[in-house]
Structure 1
Amino acid sequence: MDQRTLDARIQRYYGGHFDEAARLTTGAVGRAELARVRELVATRLEPGSRVLDVGGGAGVHATWLAAAGHAVTLVDPVPSHVEAARTVGTFAAEVGDARALTAADGAFDAVLLAGPLYHLVTREDRLLALREAARVLRPGGHVFTVVISRTMAALDVVLRRRFTDLPGQALVRLLETGDVTDEIRNPEGEFPGGHFHTADELADELAAAGFRDPWVTGVEGPGSLALELSRPHDDAVEAALLLARQAEGDREAADVSSHLLGIATR
């Protein structure tokens, strides 16, 4: 799928089919993702940091960042997300594209990219988004980027098809390259897709964009599959968080997490 077509699907999906805020606050995987992103980001921010939340949706992350005393600006390509974010009232919000940020050079202490990279099909576009993040960061500032695990994306295809009529070549291509072909693309109304990462690939893209000391970990950790199959019970979420913390920084363990988090320095 070309990027223009995918961008249109993103507008339809997030603008009408899917509530991203509810995913992060009600489902088991979403709750674990929110908790882990919050703890991994918060411990690396100085008090009163200027934070740009790119692809921030309706403001789930921006809300807790602002409540912690940071000066937050949210950017998202979906107008309805920005409208919802503005109702929170504790941070700025604007419509924008990760590949062409309007912020000035060096305007922020930290950039959070929790979503844009897995909706950009080509490596060139992903590097463009990362270089834009680097541009608006001050020297020594941090980028935090969340992507979807290639391993878990492939497993999702297998589980949705109940282990039957599997598109073997397409699955191999997904696992080897992160590319999604028409054979395994979700139907209209479901996750629009884009690109899926390995931990090594994410670290490589951060380095190629000019960032220093890239570090990648699993977000929900090795308990991701259990969370996918369980109800959002507090005990299940806490057990997964314990496993995620124990596996923190292990790239092999990261690849069996639903999401990966890359952290690097400008």
Structure 2
Amino acid sequence: MRHGEFRHPRLVPVYDAECPWSRDDDWFLAVVAGTPAVRVVDLGCGTGRLTVALAAAGHTVTGVDPAGASLAAARTRPGAERVTWVEGTSAVLADESFDVAVLTSHVAQFFVDDDDWARTLADLARALVPGGRLVFDSRDPADRRWERWNPVDSRRRITLPDGEVVRAWTRVRAVAGGRVDFTHHYLFPDGDELLSSATLRFRTEQELRDSLRAAGFVVERMLGGWGGEPVGRGDGEFLVLARRQ
């Protein structure tokens, strides 16, 4: 299944258990807090870990995701009633309805084709008020993160809330043209093995800057790590803070 950890009812809880709150959530929450009580759209919100925290911080928040199973889990979180949940893509966003847009957990890399990425940025520019902020993360291809996605280095044990332990590993199938194809394997105690395949796009700093400029954004800052390190240092990230012109 493509993107099974977001779409398969048995894999969504595994994703949640494997991806608890971490310093990237702290970073996004702090960035949005720079403009108090704003209207925020969390595009690709998944199961809503950060989305509900943004709402709890006093923002008016809309969580948008195309995966119904992930949104079903999001709606069960404590505080979920403070969020407006929408199943869909950036195309559903109303004009000039938000002050801040966030794409977290490397959601930006799921827009593999340049046309899809351009349309998404155009939708976000349309949905933001003039001067509205866009904040997202994308992995720096120079870090070559995919080289660690192999059955040995990626092997892990994921403990679910009920104590069940799922064994998981990742295998890269192809790397070409900034695209990385891979498959996550999840082995459950009952012997059931579920596979989730995906393709991510690793855009360079210049590619990101050019695409943002074409969509009408000005890049204010681009960082390389969650501690505020410059690009090329830190965590192998591009942390992008842009503003609609």
Q: TM-score range by the shorter chain?
A: 0.7 to 0.9
Which amino acid is the alignment partner of residue 83 of structure 2?
F
Cα offset, 1:116, TM superposition: 3.4
Q: Corresponding residue for 1:22?
A: 17
Unaligned runs of 5+ in 1: 1-7, 163-169, 221-243
Aligned partner of 1:68 in structure 2 is 57
CA distance in 2, matches of 1:191, 1:214: 34
Q: Relative to structure 1, is the Cα distance of residues 39 and 48 closer, same or farther in structure 2, using a 3 angstrom cutoff?
A: closer
Give the total of aligned pairs: 207
Give me the TM-score of the superposition, normalised by structure 1: 0.69
Report if the CA contact (8 A) 1:199-1:217 is conserved. no
Residue 5 of structure 2 is matched in structure 1 by 13
For the residue of structure 2 that corresponds to 1:252, the secondary structure is coil
The answer (yes or no) to whether the contact 1:51–1:108 under 8 Å persists in 2 is yes
Q: CA RMSD in A?
A: 2.4
For 2:133 and 2:22, the matched residues in 1 are separated by 24
> Could you tell me how far 1:49 is from its partner in structure 2?
0.5
- AA matched with 1:178: G
Aligned residue for 1:41, secondary structure, equals helix
TM-score by length of 2: 0.74
Identity of aligned residues (%): 29
1:261 maps to which of 222, 232, 239? 239
Q: Does 1:179 align with 2:179?
A: yes
Whole-Å Cα distance in 1 between the matches of residues 17 and 26 of structure 2? Answer: 14
**CA deviations over 1:22-80 (Å, ceiling 9, x no partner):** 3442xxxx61222222223322x2x2201111100111111111111110010001102
Task: Classify the secondary structure of the residue corresponding to 2:179.
Answer: coil
Q: Contact (CA 8 Å) 1:36, 1:219: kept in 2 or not?
A: no
Structure 2 residue 103 is the aligned partner of structure 1 residue 110: no
Q: Judge conservation of contact 1:54–1:76 (CA < 8 Å) in 2.
A: yes
Are the counterparts in 1 of residues 2 and 196 from structure 2 also a CA contact under 8 Å? Answer: no
**Counterpart code for 2:55:** A
1:66–1:91 Cα contact (<8 Å) kept = yes
Runs of 4+ that moved beyond 3 A: 18-24, 159-162
Tell me whether 1:90 sits opposite 2:87 in the alignment.
Answer: no
Which of residues 194, 202, 206 in structure 1 aligns to 2:200? 194
Residue type of the alignment partner of 2:16? A
Q: Which amino acid aligns with 2:238?
A: L
Cα distance in 2 for residues equivalent to 1:122 and 1:35: 30
Query: Which residue identity lines up with residue 217 of structure 1 in the other structure?
Result: L
Q: Is the 8 A contact 1:117 1:147 kept in 2?
A: yes
Cα distance 1:35–1:24, how it changes in 2: closer, same or farther (>3 A)? farther
Unmatched tracts of structure 2, length 5 or more:
154-173, 186-194
Shift of 1:160: 4.6
Q: Is contact 2:179-2:200 (8 Å) kept?
A: yes
For the 8 Å contact 1:120–1:194, the answer to whether it is kept is yes
Matches within 5 A, 1:72-151: 72-87=61-76, 88-98=80-90, 100=91, 102-114=92-104, 115-150=106-141, 151=143
CA contact (8 A) 1:51 1:110 kept: yes
Query: SS at the partner of 1:186?
Result: strand
| Offset, 1:205 | 2.0
Q: Which has more helix, going by share of residues?
A: 1
Give per-residue Cα distances to partners, 1:187-228, cap 9 Å, x unaligned: 5624623212333332222222210134221344xxxxxxxx
Post-superposition offset of 1:260: 2.6
